[in-house]
């Protein structure tokens, strides 16, 4: 009963945030329509618009200004370790579940909170290493709190747990692990723990133009940044070997296929397959290196973009070494994993690789016209248009 209650609280909180976001989107659309009406018709007033909509002139003004709801009302409360415990006490609440990790994304990957609820309007903010689910259904993120080693950060986490009403022994045990999902904070028998990290290949998506982007793939190694975490080698030797046996591609597709797929990643699945990197760059599907902004800073483009709900997966695979091939074996394997039929593309590869075909292209210095990218719908739902709904536009995130 306790377990089902906790799961119900999690679902309720996620559905509430999704509903709030839908309402805000409708209000923003109304605000844009109201502004257009005022700009185009000098006889239109806020009062007349309000009368037509059944709201006050002040409410119309608020819609236009985009302040119809208090800023961030659906965001997750993220507090410093010194304030988090006091916040829980003031709410008259208690922690029913605690998720903590040494790694940047492990705690997030088990809470699966919409990243837009954690960051500000520009998609900026600190990703907490500790999340608490309260008995009210509310999630709280705790910053300046770490786990899994003997430093002061772990002490701060332990103190915050105790200040929130957690049993001191349970608090001490939780922070001793590099990962701990205490599904029932009062029952260690329900905890999932690890002294290795990362425990998952899911990394928190970035926020771009209001939607989410998760980047992964072996070609990110060319940027020589923290993106290397998502490479295919899952058990690198080192002081803290990874506990994960999945690639990032495996982990993300498994999540999208799961019946527990989060609200923000639910919906029809679409894909864009780039056979030409230049086409991806022209459409601003670009992942920059950590020195983005400097002259000649490196960047790579995804080979495949999978879109489901408000999430896009940018899969970065190396281009095939054979110049006549459209895609690499790794890319074909990922496409099949995502449910995309590859037979037609692979047949084209085989045709292009034939001796006759290569000879003709060499002599005539020409090639059969091929689209630089393909849009594909991969869903049992009825989709009128397979084209991706979200575009990176001018905003492209830098690796870091």
Q: Give the DSSP H/E element, type plus range, for residue 215.
A: strand 211-216
Question: If you search the block for the tokens 């829980």, which residue do you land on?
Answer: 88
Q: What CA–CA distance (Å, rounded) separates 354 from 340?
A: 25
**Do residues 310 and 265 lie in contact, with contact meaning Cβ atoms separated by under 8 Å?**
yes
pLDDT by residue, tens only, the chain of 400 residues: 545 554 555 455 555 555 555 666 677 778 778 888 888 888 888 888 878 887 877 777 767 765 443 343 357 899 999 999 999 999 899 999 999 999 889 999 999 999 998 887 677 788 999 999 999 999 999 999 999 987 888 999 999 999 999 999 999 999 999 999 999 999 999 999 998 888 998 989 999 888 999 999 999 887 755 444 444 344 443 345 666 778 999 999 999 999 999 999 998 899 999 999 899 999 999 998 765 455 556 789 999 999 999 999 999 999 998 877 889 999 999 999 999 988 888 888 888 766 544 444 443 444 556 788 989 887 655 555 678 888 886 444 444 4
Q: What are phi and psi of 183, to 5 degrees?
A: -60, -35
**Do residues 300 and 228 lie in contact, with contact meaning Cβ atoms separated by under 8 Å?**
no
Dig out the tokens for 288 from the structure.
Answer: 């920059």
Q: What CA–CA distance (Å, rounded) separates 218 from 201?
A: 13
Q: What is the model's pLDDT at position 156?
A: 94
Q: Give the DSSP H/E element, type plus range, for residue 65.
A: helix 57-65
Q: What share of the chain is helix, strand, coil (3-state, %, to 5)?
A: 40, 15, 45
Residue 9: partners with Cβ closer than 8 Å, 6 or more residues away: 96, 133, 135, 136, 137
Q: What is the model's pLDDT at position 387?
A: 83
Q: What CA–CA distance (Å, rounded) separates 205 from 262?
A: 13
User: Percent of the chain at pLDDT above 90?
Assistant: 44
Q: Give the residue ranges of DSSP H helices in 122-189.
A: 152-163, 168-175
Is the pTM here over 0.85, yes or no?
A: no
């Amino acid at each position: 009963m306790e377990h089902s209650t906790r799961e119900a609280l999690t679902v309720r909180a996620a559905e509430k945030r999704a509903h709030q976001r839908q309402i805000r989107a409708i209000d923003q659309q109304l605000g844009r329509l109201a502004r257009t009406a005022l700009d185009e018709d000098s006889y239109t007033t806020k009062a007349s618009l309000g009368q037509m909509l059944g709201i006050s002139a002040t409410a119309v003004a608020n819609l236009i200004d985009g302040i119809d709801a208090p800023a961030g009302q659906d965001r997750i409360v993220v507090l410093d370790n010194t304030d988090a415990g006091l916040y829980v006490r003031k709410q008259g609440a208690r922690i029913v579940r605690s998720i903590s990790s040494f790694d940047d994304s492990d705690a997030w990957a088990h809470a699966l909170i919409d990243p837009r609820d954690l960051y500000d309007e520009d998609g900026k903010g600190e990703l907490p290493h500790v999340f608490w689910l309260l008995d009210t259904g509310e999630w709280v993120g705790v910053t300046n709190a770490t786990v899994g080693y003997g430093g002061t950060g772990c002490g701060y986490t332990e103190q915050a747990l105790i200040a929130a009403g957690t049993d001191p022994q349970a608090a001490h045990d939780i922070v001793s692990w590099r990962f701990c999902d205490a599904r029932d904070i009062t029952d260690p028998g329900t905890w999932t723990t690890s002294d290795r990290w990362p425990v998952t290949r899911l990394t928190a998506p970035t926020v771009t133009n209001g939607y989410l982007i998760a980047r992964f793939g072996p070609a990110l190694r060319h940027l020589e940044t923290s993106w290397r975490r998502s490479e295919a080698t899952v058990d690198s030797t080192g002081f803290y070997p990874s506990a994960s046996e999945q690639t990032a591609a495996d982990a993300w597709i498994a999540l999208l296929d799961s019946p527990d797929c989060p609200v923000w990643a639910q919906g029809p699945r679409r894909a864009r397959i780039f056979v030409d990197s230049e086409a991806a760059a022209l459409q601003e599907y670009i992942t920059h290196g950590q020195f983005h902004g400097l002259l000649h800073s490196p960047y790579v483009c995804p080979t495949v973009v999978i879109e489901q709900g408000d999430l896009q997966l940018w899969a970065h695979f190396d281009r095939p070494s054979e110049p006549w091939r459209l895609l690499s074996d790794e890319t074909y394997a990922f496409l099949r994993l995502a449910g995309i039929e590859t037979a037609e593309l692979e047949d084209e590869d085989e045709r292009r690789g034939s001796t006759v075909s290569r000879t003709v292209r060499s002599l005539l210095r020409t090639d059969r016209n091929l689209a630089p990218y393909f849009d594909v719908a991969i869903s049992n739902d009825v989709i009128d248009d397979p084209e991706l709904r979200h575009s990176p536009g001018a905003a492209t995130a830098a690796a870091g």
